[in-house]
A and B are shown apart, each in its own frame.
Chain A
Amino acid sequence: MKWVKVIVSFILTLSFLSFPSCAFQSDELLVDDEEFGLEGAPQHRSPEPIPTRSPPVTSPTRKRHSDLDSDSKIQFSLDHAFGDSDFSPAGTFSARLKTWSHGGQTLTKLRFSRNSFSDVEKEKFKNLLESDDFYRIRLPSNVLNPPGRDFIISSVKARCLPRESLDEHFVIHMEGVNVLAVNYGSPGSCPYPRNLKLPAKWSFSSHTVLKNSEQAPRAPVFTEEILGGENAEGEVVQPAERSFWAKYWMYLIPLGLIVMNAITQAMNMPEEQATGQVPAQGQPSAGAVRRGPSSAVRRR
């Protein structure tokens, strides 16, 4: 019985010894951090459901509700203008409006149907191409009740568009049901000397991309660093990082020169030994001296 007690107490002490250090390692801040992440998880902004562990009152599991989310189809129109002319309808965007349970709304499955140019419009576009002028488009800034506060305008030099057909590329930046900006242009490059070129086919090939905001990367959080690693690190550690060569090159190069000098002289020595008739004890130094006063000085 006694030994059981001993073991238990041993285990207890062990656990006491180890536990604090374990706990300290510490999830404490990390857990905290996760909590922060939860609270602030931008529900209406990121379409991906975020796994949660908090009580369902604050943030109900997204999955279940997304089934209940209502979809509806909406349409909004694209207008265009040639140079400074007035805007006229040019096409329609249709999309699904997804309403999230918490009230956020996003667009998905954007489709675009482009009206083809009428003859008048073709003529106008040709004029644009000749004068290297702007082809302008506009979208409502709110797709639910257009035009919203103002129209979103974008424009491109008309000469950028014609390839085989008329190639256009829309990037629509959305924030919920609001259109922030639309970037309109050709999908490829449009380098500066824009040459006049008429399209072979007067039809549009359109590409549309819908973009929502990205999340910023969070500032890194380390627990260890707080304990005191961060003070003036860069400036102080920097010299230690330099290699041996980087630090002592100014001494090494003269040293290398001296060594090389010595070696060349040493190389010459055997030669002289070979050519010299009487290899004597004092000969090498005398030979070296004969080579010139400067090397003698250096060796000293």
Chain B
Amino acid sequence: MAIRSFFLFILFFSSSLSPVFSLYEDQVGLMDWHQQYIGKVKQAVFSSQRAGRKRVVVSTEENVIASLDLRHGEIFWRHLLGADDVIDGIDIGLGKYVITLSSGGSILRSWNLPDGQMVWESSLQGPKHSKSFLLVPTNLKFDKDNVLVVFSNGRLHAISCIDGEVLWKKDFEAESFEVQQVILPPGSDLIHVVGFAALSQFEMYQINAKNGELLKHESASFSSGFSGQVSLVSTETVVALDSTGSILLTISFQDGKISSQQTPISNLVEDSLGPAVIIPSSVSGIFAIKTDAVPIFIRVIGKGNLEVVEKTTHEIAVSDALSISEDQQAFALIQHASSEIHLTVKLAHDWDGNLLKESVKMDRQRGLVHKVFINNYIRTDRSYGFRVLIVMEDHSLLLLQQGEIVWSREDGLASIIDVTTSELPVERDGVSVAKVEHNLFEWLKGHMLKLKGTLMLASPEDMAAIQSMRLKSSEKSKMTRDHNGFRKLLIVLTRAGKLFALHTGDGRIVWSYLLRSLHKSEACQSPIGLNLYQWQVPHHHAMDENPSVLVVSRCGPSSDTSGVLSFVDTYTGKELSSLSLDHAVVQVIPLPYTDSTEQRLHLLIDADKHAHLYPKTSGALSIFKREFSNIYWYSVEDQNGIIKGHALKCKCTGEVADEFCFDTRDLWSVVFPSESEKTIATVTRKLNEVVHTQAKVVADQDVMYKYISRNLLFVATVAPKGSGEIGSVTPEESWLVAYLIDTVTGLILHRVTHHGSQGPVHAVFSENWVVYHYFNLRAHRYEMSVIEIYDQSRADNKDVWKLVLGKHNLTSPISLFSRPEVITKSQSYFFTHSLKAIAVTSTAKGITSKQLLLGTIGDQVLALDKRFLDPRRTVNPTQLEKEEGIIPLTESLPIIPQSYVTHALRVEGLRGIITVPAKLESTTLVFAHGVDLFFTQLAPSRTYDSLTEDFSYALLLITIVALVAAIFVTWRLSERKELQEKWR
């Protein structure tokens, strides 16, 4: 009896411990989170439908078109256009179609507003490149067809709104004609196209909107020329600036006659100095110019009389005009005051009166207002109300209404540049934020529920309760370090120059900080963030310090502009300090040394090939001096196809004595012949990767030693002809060469040519192997190759006696100046998908087997066991090889649907995959970012070192109790029986 029940329990155990191959439906959202973003909004159009849900359609710099809920800011639908399909304009046609013009005005699409389905697409060709305009007139009809007017590529099109058919077109082929505005006065059948020709000629074309017939062509020449944009002040007047930027030209073309008036800016503003630029706006009667960063609003009175209405010193943003009635136009103005923004809505013809004036408290970390979009609604008291959508400097999107922020979206997270992680603070008495389960009863109740679920006794309500309990578990979103290392902070740097700290538990923003050093300033005109590095990771000595990250940025797009460093505390999100460097930053090398306060030493290489040591402390310098001759690095000159190795030489010999600056010298160079090779990919191992064992036992009890060197570089080059798109060359003219180069000596360890192959190459380097993905033109398929590299100089250490007697060379120091004896093994496999990114899992000790994480073209992340990319796979593996885990050779790599890490979700616009080891050896944390963010935990060899999350402790407890009871019962039984035996 007891035995039977014992086995029953064993069975229960084994069933509850059975390994999980992939994710079950109820595990979604347990360890993973997914966030959807759209990017910085470029243009917004409000849906003016009276009935139905209020929505706003936006186009963004990430090439997303999205329809957002105006009440909550949620995404109704969105579409990510391709990377080179930049959106030029959007509008709403007939109240139910979203019209988008993209790809430099060559693709016009219509989308159904309620659900985002594409209705039609037409491609617009033209004679030459030009600005593009999309106009959606409300009442222009053509055979009962509503008409869209599109000017793109030097051609004016009238297009049916229903099916995208081109009704008529008109070319503007004059060589030098540059279109500036396309004007369609409401209620008229005339289209005015105005522009410049030959720099000093003003041209005006009048076109019949019904048939595209040219009615009138007038031109006038202005000797002073033009600069920049024009501003439209009425349907028949434009304002332009002359080439010096000091004279305003008011050009009107009433009734097809061009007349003009010149007004020097100095007449209007006394103290203007620099050249002015026109701020684009579309408010009738008023335009804005900017001189010396001071915006000035100027009103046009009558025929070309100008009058300054306002001159502000604050940063200001203006919306486009919104017509609220027949002859009234309103627009919104936003001005900054210290921690508030002031929103004013004015009528176009009445500058001094305000329709609305509100102040809204604004988080300083959002920076300045970049764009304003205005929309009106009818209040309950039948008056007009206004709401504005604003785009901030950090790319976030906010809706303001009635002096409040109704909702906000952190769309800066759609453009992440770099990611690093930081540990959370250790749980101590003081900092404890932990909430232990409320009481024992709750705890028991929870576990009883779980037990019910396991025994399949739970009702649907119970199941729902269990699920919500699991998802809400406060455990995963605590702000302290956990035992397994699952809870971390993801520090991300966005293109807007803002740092965010995301909690890995639930993806919430812990803090965000708009870097002051990335603010536009006199010295730094267009700062861009480059990289994030872990600056200080308190470990042994400085436990009380907070960890900090280093943000490297520079002042301009070219690599020789001076750099800026900022140091940010990762617990508080405060900038500790920032340094404006007097040298450029071309390369940043984190050195494997830390000083006494655990600050990591970094070497910054500038454009003149000087190396600068940071932090600039004497302690760091003395550590650095010790390792002076052991520091080598390499640089890749993509343009020239040259890879160079460098070492340090001596102190800088410049006129200013700087003991943290060092001269460098070239040690080696590899020059790829420019006529046959062009570098397209370089990959190295991750600096912090841990390799557990350097030996690999192969099938016949043989040992192979991995060649593990931190100084290996994988380089892929292709034929220059073949560096274009796939299919642009024949297989004969295209090849791909893969190199493994030692970066200390410049030694080419391996070099292999793939004929008939083409990029793009995505590669990942780990331990002693590299996997790369490319296109095979002959097989018309994508291919993935693996190269494994083994050390032969240690191959003799197989003899046990040698090891016992110490006659092995396993402990002898390795010098890269010795000639390494290596052998490589490689193999290629076909792969179905094209890739966007590739990464490999990394674990704390490197024991767990590896999985490749492939970012597929469908914006998903696929996990593929490294075993599939083993170069030793053969068609018929022997029994021994099978036991070792070698899979029989197949020509292509399998795509197992269950192994999509992102399961049903998509990480739109996937750009990068980052893996971080957890403290638990079996588990690795994966963060994928693009326009969307996705985070999950992976266990490539399953969680062999911990109980699964849904393990029922109550069941275990009950089992133990039952077992103990059974022991006692049987003991008593046997005692009694024994007694009976004795009495017999």
Contacts and interface: CB of A to CB of B under 8 A. Distances in A.
Interface of A: 36, 39-42, 45, 84, 132, 134, 136, 141-142, 148-157, 160, 169, 171, 173, 175-176, 178-181, 183, 185-194, 211, 213-222, 225-226, 229-235, 241, 250, 286, 289, 293, 296-297, 300
Interface in B663-699: 665-674, 676-677
B510 interface: no
Given A136-B667, A152-B669, A220-B889, A40 B755 contact: yes
22 contacts: A134-B667, A153-B644, A156-B817, A160-B818, A181-B669, A185-B817, A185-B819, A186-B817, A189-B818, A192-B813, A194-B815, A213-B752, A216-B754, A216-B785, A221-B779, A221-B891, A222-B891, A225-B892, A230-B890, A230-B892, A234-B868, A300-B970
Given A42-B755, A157-B817, A192-B815, A217 B671 contact: no
Given A134-B667, A153-B746, A300-B2, 7 more contacts: A45-B753, A84-B665, A153-B668, A213-B751, A217-B828, A232-B894, A233-B894
Contacts of A156: 745, 817
Given A39-B731, A181-B746, A231-B894, A211 B751 contact: yes
Q: Is the interface of B mostly helix, strand, loop or mixed?
A: mixed
Contacts of B670: 152, 180-181
A39 B785 contact: no
Contacts of A181: 668-671, 741, 746, 748
Nearest to A229: B890
Nearest to B751: A213
B752 A215 contact: yes
Nearest to A183: B747
A-B complex: 4 closest residue pairs judged by Cβ atoms: A178-B673, A189-B818, A219-B828, A192-B813
Contact of B677 (A175, A194, A221, A225): A175
Interface string B898-919: 0000000000000000000000
Given A40-B778, A185-B817, A219-B830, A233 B671 contact: no
B12 to A, nearest CB: 14
Contacts of B867: 234
A233 B647 CA distance: 50
Interface string B857-871: 000000001011000
Interface stretch (B115-123, B386-394, B973-981): B973-981
B868 A36 contact: no
Contact of B671 (A39, A150, A193, A230): A150
Nearest to A290: B978
A136 to B, nearest CB: 7
B795 interface: no
B665 A217 contact: no
Contacts of A217: 826-828
B183 interface: no
Contacts of B826: 216-217
Nearest to A137: B668
A189 B819 contact: yes
B970 A297 contact: yes
A132 B3 CA distance: 76
Contacts of B755: 40-42, 45, 215-216
B735 interface: yes
A219 B776 contact: yes
Interface residues of B, number: 78
A213 B737 contact: yes
A155 B667 contact: yes
A149 B671 contact: yes
A232 B899 CA distance: 10
A191 B890 contact: no
B971 interface: yes
Contacts of A136: 667
A221 B741 CA distance: 30
Given A220-B891, A233-B894, A180 B748 contact: yes
B882 interface: yes
Given A215-B755, A233-B894, A286-B981, A176 B673 contact: yes
Q: Which of B629, B731, B818 has the most CB of A within 10 A?
A: B818
A213 B673 contact: no
Contacts of B15: none
Contacts of A190: 815, 817-818
A151 B891 CA distance: 42
A180 to B, nearest CB: 6
Contact of A216 (B665, B666, B753, B882): B753
Contacts of A183: 745-748
B962 to A, nearest CB: 15
B154 interface: no
A194 B815 CA distance: 10
Nearest to B888: A233
Interface in B881-898: 882-883, 887-892, 894, 896
Given A183-B747, A191-B813, A192-B815, A225 B668 contact: no
A233 B649 CA distance: 56
